[in-house]
């Protein structure tokens, strides 16, 4: 299990950032190098199920397919990967308003299949960079 915690301070309103993060039609804007395809297969109000195709370029190019259930309840988005090589992983983002903007707190508990076990240090490093980059992209989109 890979555990990753990250806090990012941004100057944009928490609700605006949250609205960008929950817009699955814009996921490719936030993660252009990783998300090749994302399909919403069910939308039950605050619970959205997606199928994703992701590509990671590390030592070798890897494409993975996964199914994720996203629970959306302001100020939190929690994503449970229910199928794919990272099955049983949980990623959450909390959007907390403060006096100068927003603190986004990311928590990821990544369950890595045996096939990807040797890549754990690379996965952790890449995932942290991806989350940080997505936070700044969310900020830019929320300010439009």
What number does CATH give the domain 2-142? 3.30.530.20
CB neighbourhood size of 77 (10 A): 19
Instruction: Collapse the DSSP code of 45 into the 3-class scheme (helix H, G, I; strand E, B; otherwise coil) and give the result.
Output: coil
Domain range annotation of the chain: 2-142
pTM score, two decimals? 0.87
Give pLDDT tens digits for 8-53: 999 999 999 999 999 888 887 777 777 778 889 999 989 999 999 8
How far, CA to CA in Å, does 2 sit from each of 35, 90, 111, 119, 134?
A: 21, 10, 7, 11, 19
Q: Which helix (H) or strand (E) holds 96?
A: strand 90-98
Give pLDDT tens digits for 100-143: 899 999 999 999 877 777 878 888 888 888 889 889 999 998 98
Instruction: Collapse the DSSP code of 132 into the 3-class scheme (helix H, G, I; strand E, B; otherwise coil) and give the result.
Output: helix
pLDDT for 95 beyond 70 = yes
Closest CA to 85 of 18, 2, 11, 14: 2
Identify whether the C-beta of residue 69 lies closer than 8 Å to the C-beta of residue 84.
no
Give pLDDT tens digits for 52-94: 988 776 556 678 899 999 999 999 999 999 998 889 999 999 9
Residue 15: predicted pLDDT: 96
Residue 60: predicted pLDDT: 60
């Amino acid at each position: 299990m890979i555990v990753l915690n990250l806090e990012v301070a941004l100057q944009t309103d928490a609700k605006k950032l949250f609205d960008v993060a929950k817009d699955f039609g814009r996921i490719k804007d936030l993660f252009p190098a990783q998300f090749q395809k994302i399909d919403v297969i069910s939308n039950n109000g605050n619970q959205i199920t997606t199928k994703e195709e992701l590509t990671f370029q590390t030592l070798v190019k890897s494409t993975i397919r996964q199914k994720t259930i996203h629970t959306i309840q302001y100020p939190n988005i929690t994503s449970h990967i229910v199928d794919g090589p990272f099955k049983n992983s949980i990623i959450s983002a909390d959007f907390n308003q403060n006096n100068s903007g927003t603190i986004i707190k990311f928590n990821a508990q990544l369950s890595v299949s045996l096939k990807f076990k040797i890549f754990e240090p690379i996965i952790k490093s890449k995932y942290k960079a991806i989350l940080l980059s997505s936070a700044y992209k969310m900020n830019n989109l929320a300010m439009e």
